Amino acid sequence: MSYQQSAMMKKTGALLLAGAVLATGFGSPAPSAAASTTVPAGKTAAATAGKAPATAAAFVKAMEEAATLAGVPFSMHTPMGTTVKRKDAAKALQQWLKLEPATETFKDVPDDADYAGAVSALNQAGLMKGYTESLFLPNAVLTENDVAVLKDRIYDYIKPFVLEEATITEIQAAMTQGKITSKELVQKYLDRIEKYDDQGVSLKAVLTLNPEALNIAEALDEERATKGARGPLHGIPVLVKDNFDTNDMPTTAGCLCLKDSVPSTDAEQVKRLKDAGAIILGKTNLHEFAFGITTSSSLGGQTLNPYALDHYPGGSSGGTGAAIAANFAAAGLGTDTGGSIRIPSSFNSLVGIRPTIGLSSRDGIIPLALTQDVGGPMARTVSDAAIMLDATVGYDKKDLSTAYSVGRIPSSYTDYLDVNGLKGARIGVATELIPSTKAEEKEVADVINHAVTELESLGATAVPIQIPNLAEINKYPSLSGYEFKFQLNDYLESLGDEAPYHSLSEIIASGQFDKSQEQSMKARDARATLDTTEYKDIVLKRTQLTRDSLLKVMADHHLDAIIYPTSTQAAGVIGEGQNSGGNNRLSPFSGFPAITVPAGFTSEGLPVGMEFLGRAFDEGTLIKLAYSYEQGTHHRQAPKFTP
């Protein structure tokens, strides 16, 4: 077992307890400021009761082991005495790590103390923090648990930066520590795209790269140096599905007909990402106009699944799915009308969030059916998805639906990242959504049924349920066949004089599109109006029936969420079709949020995702449950074809 793996396994029990010691003190009442430099023996004993003091030799040995595992030189002197005080540990570590002193505000650390600079440096680096915001307890003795946590933190601090599977938080830490710049990070991702998307396995996941990405990154590096980081997305490269408007790259929906169409403004979610300091590295392939779930387009061709190159990546956001799975960027954006964020996330061992309709703006997204359309994050971890969600939610006057989100957005969705989030939770298991009659379904069902046992082992109560009126709900169609023509025409009109075409009719006449979609496009173009009883009944009755049915079963069983397989079948072989089942309808038909999280793999190594569905604007709860499951199982694996 590697040191990283062992560190991961110690996130509970003594490690967390010791982490609290270093971060916030010893668990006893805070001493007075006057007494803080000389902690009474009784208080020290009480604070460290049940924890043996670490010897100086053990402290040095632990730091040397961290250095060896990280592959960096070790030259730290051994503190005097048989045990180690916090102030002496800080001095030794500062000398070894060559940390620059920072502003120090602890009341019990005199400015003229010979250890003041070391304390400030270790605190600034996040390696040794105070007992409270104002107390450091410099004379407190390190325990064995304290040293174990220090070893983990030192290892994380000194280990070389590894791009593959790096989280947004890890990338930010690496940039803060000077291990990598944003410009270097962008280049590393560009190198991977060239190696695996343009050449080699040639995933065909990325349609367009931002020619200014390196310059933007350099400017953000300079901003970080002079003003500090804007937030967790500062200097972070992301990829967005190519139906989000970008004012510096074409927005094509994968169609040849729009290959030169550059909108004058960014989509609202893109704008918010840029404002947060993110770098839009490029645009990803999609199923043309988001019509399907296999991700093929006239502009980008067929995107491949990085876990099995002869299989579909899911869709319609399959380009984002394959790209983020293959580590072409830190995270990405997709859109979802029926299952287009969640299916490719499931097929690529990713986390995908379909937000509540109205949580995030759809302005500047080429529409498929606005009654169901949303945009949302796709990422390798729940925490990354939560960070992306934070940056993209909120009211936008250009999308009236977002008015419903006012007052319903937490200060940060990352506050819900609770490793114990499943303890005491009641999870409805929608058994009728886990079919197993076909061989293709059974593989997925086996993974999901095992996931249910994992939920229970992590403290949740699994409640078998049946969703009322499910058969009637599933009889209703998606509205993409109704709304697309009218809303696409509105979008083309919004492009103004620069629009290459002005209607779906003109696009069809041009022949510049995926011919396999011709009949579907013509059928949509033939629809004369939305002012019909049929359409209005679907909008009103389907939505109400689905919402009422879901709310009733959740209330009857006191549920926090409902789970089921995101797709009833794993990724299909290219050329043999793709079936995902109808589970993905519940979220768009109700407008309620859903999050898919990796649940395991089939015997052929194909990823399987489990979906959590919740109440409107309750993304925080879903994130808490999904994060707890993710941290308790760690099912995600990077694809072997893009090492």
Rounded distance between C-alpha atoms, residue 203 and residue 501, angstroms: 30
Give dist(CA 359, CA 573) in Å, integer: 35
CA distance 303 to 481: 24
Task: Name the CA radius of gyration of the chain, rounded.
Answer: 27
Q: How far apart are CA 48 and CA 45, in angstroms?
A: 5
CB 608 within 8 A of CB 447: yes
Provide the residue count of the chain. 643
Q: Are 273 and 266 in contact (CB under 8 A)?
A: no
Contact 167, 380 (CB under 8 A): yes
Q: Is 42 exposed, middle or buried (0-12, 13-18, 19+ CB in 10 A)?
A: exposed
Catalytically active residues are 241, 316, 340
Q: 3-class SS at 263?
A: coil
Handedness of CA 427, 428, 430, 431 (dihedral sign): positive
According to DSSP, the residues that pair with 209 across neighbouring strands are 282
CB 448 within 8 A of CB 610: yes
The answer to whether 365 touches 398, Cβ cutoff 8 Å, is no
Residue 378 is inside which H or E element, if any?
Answer: strand 374-379
Of 416, 377, 398, give the one whose Cα is nearest residue 233: 377
* CB-based contact 584:337 (threshold 8 Å): no
Q: Are 260 and 358 in contact (CB under 8 A)?
A: no
Least Cα distance to 632 among 444, 428, 425 occurs for: 425
Instruction: Check if the beta carbon of residue 80 is closer than 8 Å to that of residue 52.
Output: no
